[in-house]
Structure 1
Amino acid sequence: MAYISISRGFTASLSERFDEMVKSIRLTLHRRRVFKQTQRELNALSSRELADLGIHRTMITRIALEAAYGK
């Protein structure tokens, strides 16, 4: 005789899953804010100020990504 076993992967309740989704969205928005702010602040610097920091304009996006999302 064959047996069928159904196993659901979700052990969390609906409200717990919703809370996790909200946390994930908030984290994503926070990271995006950090990225945009870093990019905006670095773009506001003159080329001379960036050179003093050892940064070239082509590096700004990468630096902003690292600030927001890590390496």
Structure 2
Amino acid sequence: MPKIEWEEPYCGEGNNCFRLGTDRKGNGFIAVRGEEDRYLVDSREALQQLIRDIRGLSRKDLGSECGAA
């Protein structure tokens, strides 16, 4: 497992929290808070864009994706 420097968790509504991290090679990591040993890896820019995309979703979009009314 690479040595990852994790940032403080970002928490959305409810208790959905995730963390971003980087290693010495500049790779970007994202993980659910508390499960940092199970992470996704990509470029830091790609993960930041993923987060911007998630933040841009409206409640309505999230509700329809999850099957909620």
Larger radius of gyration: 1
**With structure 1 as the length reference, what TM-score do the two structures score?**
0.33
**With structure 2 as the length reference, what TM-score do the two structures score?**
0.34
Q: 1 or 2 for the larger relative contact order (CA 8 Å, sep ≥6)?
A: 1
- More helix as a share of residues: 1
